[in-house]
């Protein structure tokens, strides 16, 4: 029961983050000028004011920005309720790492909600360059931390570190994937021509390094987990190239975002045994603690 709820929290958070990419790509960040309602309504059937256009480039123009933004908020509410349920169930059933992790995840969730509210009330999508990047980066970093923390918690509850799925060199791979995400934000939002060119080539270089690294992992320890790792990396890189060649065609960009966050989940699951090594996990019905 506990693991199932945590797993659904991971799924809901993943869907929320992918949908967040649609929000930014359609310029829907300020589709709702108020918070938590949208144009004073739960569902924005009537717009009270014109929607401003953010400086970040939009992939597609649409009149559905209020609906996209409010749907994103509703998905956030669902994910938040699942995480609250996970916190309560884990707190009642476990001690040690799972309980601490869920507490921190919920703290990050509150910060994420406050940041989202701040973004709307200060019209952050309209801020230029550096401040816009800071808001966007903070929002995404918190989301990735929540998603990663949930994956770590789920693997801790499974307690399959010794015989479960794993790959070699998972720690440097995890760090490289996280760094690639930050560089991707630079490519997307920083519009300074010289710096953007640098970030763009850095993004490509890291992508090539990830493919080489994934291939090395497969050759070092051939397994279906190593193969899945390489295939996810290749799919992400191919989707990135297709996004550029299609001039940011929305379905292709959506696929790029979806594969990217799926890769985050996968590498987090693979690196979890290293992160959880030595951590105490105590079940509610257990009198002893197990350290990994």
As a whole number, the mean pLDDT across the chain is 80
- pLDDT given at position 126: 47
Mean pLDDT of 241-268: 87
The pLDDT confidence band at residue 289, using thresholds 50, 70 and 90, is very low
pLDDT at 43: 72
pLDDT of 55 higher than 80: no
Q: What is the CA radius of gyration of the chain?
A: 20
CA separation for the pair 140, 256 (Å, rounded): 16
32-41, 112-121, 122-131, 160-169: the lowest-pLDDT one: 122-131
DSSP for 164-222, written as a single string: S---TTHHHHHHHHHHHHHHHHHHHH---HHHHHHHHHHHHHHHHHHHHHHHHHHHHS-
Q: Which two tokens stand for residue 96?
A: 């040690």
Amino acid 165: pLDDT: 84
Query: Which pLDDT tens digit goes with each residue over 92-119?
Result: 888 888 889 999 999 998 888 777 666 6
pTM of the model: 0.82
What is the pLDDT at residue 29?
A: 67
pLDDT band (50, 70, 90) for residue 62: low
- pLDDT higher than threshold 90 for residue 188: no
Q: What is the pLDDT of residue 286?
A: 45
Taking alpha carbons only, the member of 148, 145, 157 closest to residue 4 is 157
- The whole-number pLDDT of residue 280 equals 57
Q: Which of 46-55, 237-246, 277-286 is least confident?
A: 46-55
- Res. 270: pLDDT tops 90: yes
């Amino acid at each position: 029961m506990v693991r199932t709820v945590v797993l659904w929290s991971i799924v809901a958070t993943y869907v929320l983050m992918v949908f967040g990419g649609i929000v930014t790509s359609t310029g829907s960040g300020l589709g709702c000028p108020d918070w938590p309602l949208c144009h004073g309504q739960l569902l924005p059937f009537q717009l009270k004011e014109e929607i401003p256009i953010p400086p970040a480039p939009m992939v597609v123009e649409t009149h559905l920005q209020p609906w996209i933004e409010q749907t994103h908020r509703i998905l956030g509410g669902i994910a938040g309720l699942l995480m609250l349920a996970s916190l309560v169930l884990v707190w009642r059933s476990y001690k040690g790492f799972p309980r601490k992790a869920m507490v921190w995840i919920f703290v990050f969730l509150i910060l994420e909600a406050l940041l989202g509210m701040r973004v709307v009330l200060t019209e952050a999508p309209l801020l230029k360059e550096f401040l816009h990047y800071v808001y966007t980066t903070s929002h995404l970093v918190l989301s990735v931390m929540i998603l990663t923390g949930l994956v770590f918690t789920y693997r801790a509850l499974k307690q399959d570190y010794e015989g479960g799925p794993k790959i070699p060199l998972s720690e440097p791979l995890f760090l490289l994937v996280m760094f690639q995400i930050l560089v991707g934000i630079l490519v997307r939002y920083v519009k300074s021509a010289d710096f953007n060119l640098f970030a763009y080539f850095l993004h490509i270089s890291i992508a090539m390094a990830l493919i080489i690294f994934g291939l090395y992992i497969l050759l070092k320890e051939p397994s279906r987990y190593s193969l899945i790792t390489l295939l996810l990396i290749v799919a992400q890189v191919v989707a990135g190239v297709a996004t550029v060649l299609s001039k940011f065609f929305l379905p292709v960009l959506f696929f790029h975002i979806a594969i990217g966050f799926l890769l985050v989940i996968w590498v987090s699951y693979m690196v979890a045994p290293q992160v959880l090594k030595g951590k105490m996990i105590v079940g509610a019905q257990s009198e002893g603690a197990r350290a990994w």
